[in-house]
Amino acid sequence: MSLKQTIEEIAEKHLPDDSHFVVDVQVLDKGSKSQVKILIDADAGLNIDTCATVSRLVGEEIEAKELLSNAYVLEVSSPGLDFPLSSKRQYLKNIGRKLKVSLQDGKDLEGELLAVGDAEIRLKVKVKEKGKKASEEEMPLPLDQIKKSIVLVSFK
C-alpha cells in the first residue's frame, strides 16, 4: 500500500461520522520537508474545528507509526471553490448550484445542476437557436465524459 493510501485510510478513520468524507490526499516531497495535504468535506458543510481535530489525530498517528522520516507540514482543509468536483457525493451536495463543466471533447457548458445519477449528471443549460429567443434545456452528461466540473460563485 502506498503512503498516500495509508494516510487516506488514517484520515477516513478519524472523520467524525459518515457525513464526512475524504476528497483528496497529496503527499509532496519537497527535499528536507514533505507536505501532506488532506482535503475533506461533509454533506452538510464543514467547519474549521473538524479540520483541526482531524489534523491533530492524523498527525499523531503519522508520528506514532513513523510514516514520514523527515519533517513535514500537514494541512487539512476543505476543497476550495476552485477545486474540481471529483465524486458523486460532491455533485449531490451541489444540486441547485451553477456549474462550469469541461467535457473530454473540449466543449464547456454552464448550467444549473439538477440531478445526479450513478453514471450521469443533469444540467439545465441555456440553448440559443438562430433567430429565436434562448430557451432552457435539460441535458444529461455522462460522468465519464466530464473532464472537470467547477462550482460557479454567484454574488447576487
Average pLDDT, the chain: 92
> Is 7's pLDDT higher than 90?
yes
pLDDT for 29 equals 84
User: Looking at residues 35-47, what average pLDDT do you find?
Assistant: 93
> Is 44's pLDDT higher than 90?
no
Task: Considering the chain, tell me which residue range(s) the CATH 2.30.30.100 domain(s) occupy.
Answer: 88-151
HEC secondary structure over the chain:
CCHHHHHHHHHHHCCCCCCEEEEEEEEEEECCEEEEEEEEEECCCCCHHHHHHHHHHHHHHHHHCCCCCCEEEEEEECCCCCCCCCCHHHHHHCCCCEEEEEECCCCEEEEEEEEECCCEEEEEEEECCCCCCCEEEEEEEEHHHEEEEEECCCCC
- Name the pTM for this structure: 0.81
Q: What is the pLDDT of residues 106-133, one digit of tens each?
A: 999 999 999 999 999 999 998 887 777 8
Class of domain 88-151: mainly beta
Task: Considering the chain, tell me which residue range(s) the CATH 3.30.70.1350 domain(s) occupy.
Answer: 3-77
Give 3-77's CATH code, choosing from 3.40.1210.10, 1.20.1250.20, 3.30.70.1350, 3.30.465.10: 3.30.70.1350
pLDDT for 31 equals 76
Residue 40 sits at φ, ψ, to 5 deg, of: -125, 160
State percent of the chain over pLDDT 90.
76
pLDDT grade for 99, boundaries at 50, 70 and 90: very high
Burial group, residue 38, by CB count within 10 angstroms (0-12, 13-18, 19+): buried
